[in-house]
Amino acid sequence: MAKKGNILVVDDEEIMREVLESILSQEGYRVDLAKTGEEGLMRFSERTYDVVLLDVSMPGIGGLRTLEELLKIDREAVVLMITAYATFDTAIAAWQLGAFNCIRKPFENEQILKIVSVGIARRRGDEERRLLRRTLRISGDRERIVGNSVPMREVYDLIEQVAPARTTVLITGESGTGKEVVARTIHFSSPRAESGQFVAVNCSNIPSELLESELFGHTKGAFTGAVAAKKGLFEVADGGSIFLDEISTIPPETQARLLRVIQEREFTPLGDTQPRRVDVRIIAATNTDLQRAVKSGDFREDLFYRLNVINIHLPPLRNRREDIRPLAQHFVKKYNAENGRNISVQFAPEVLSALENYHWPGNVRELESAIERAVIVARTDDITLECLREEIVNPELKSAARSGPDQTAADVDISRGISFYDEVSRFEIELIRKALEFTGGHQSRAAKLLGMNNTTLNSKIKVYNIKI
Question: In CATH, what number is assigned to the domain containing residue 122?
Answer: 3.40.50.2300
Question: By the 8 A CB rule, do 196 and 157 touch?
Answer: no
Segment 179-221, tens digit of pLDDT: 999 999 999 888 888 878 899 998 888 887 788 888 888 787 7
Query: Is residue 148 assigned to a domain?
Result: no
Same domain, 101 and 230: no
Report the domain count for the chain: 4
Strands 230-231 and 217-218: antiparallel
Q: At what angle do helices 109-145 and 14-26 cross, to 10 degrees?
A: 70
219 and 338 share one domain: no
Last residue of a domain, one of 259, 289, 314: 314
Establish if 155 belongs to a structural domain.
no
Q: Which residues are within 8 A (CB) of 33 and not within 5 positions of it... i.e. 6 or more apart?
A: 8, 9, 10, 17, 21
Question: Does one domain contain both 299 and 197?
Answer: yes
Whether 153 is in a domain gets the answer no
Domain with residue 454: its CATH number is: 1.10.10.60
Q: Write down how long the chain is.
A: 468
Q: Of 269, 288, 314, which residue sits at a domain end? A: 314
Regarding whether 113 and 37 lie in a shared domain, the answer is yes
Q: What residues make up the domain containing 212?
A: 160-314
Rounded-to-10 torsion of CA 200, 204, 206, 208: 130
Q: Is the pLDDT of residue 373 over 60?
A: yes
Q: What pLDDT score was predicted for residue 312?
A: 95
Domain-located, residue 140: no
| 144 assigned to some structural domain | no
Lowest mean pLDDT among 281-285, 344-348, 391-395, 415-419: 415-419
Which residues does 59 contact at the CB level (< 8 Å), separation at least 6?
A: 12, 36
Those residues with Cβ within 8 angstroms of residue 55's Cβ, 6 or more apart along the chain or in another chain: 10, 11, 12, 13, 16, 63, 81, 82, 83
Could you tell me if 364 and 412 lie in one domain?
Answer: no
For residues 362 and 397, state if they share a domain. Answer: yes
Residue 149 placed within a domain: no
CA angle 418, 390, 145 (to 5 degrees): 120
pTM, full prediction: 0.59
Express each pLDDT in 115-154 by its tens digit: 898 888 877 776 655 554 554 454 444 446 788 888 898 9
**Residue 156 and residue 146: Cα distance in Å, rounded?**
10
pLDDT of residue 136: 46
- Looking at the fold, whether 179 and 293 belong to one and the same domain comes out as yes
- Looking at the fold, whether 207 and 172 belong to one and the same domain comes out as yes
- Domain edge (last residue) among 359, 386, 402: 402
Per-residue pLDDT, averaged over 42-60, amounts to 86
Taking CA atoms, 153 is separated from 160, 167, 171, 246, in Å, by 11, 22, 16, 25
412 in any annotated domain: yes
Do 310 and 322 belong to one domain?
A: no
Q: Residue 219 belongs to a domain with what CATH number?
A: 3.40.50.300
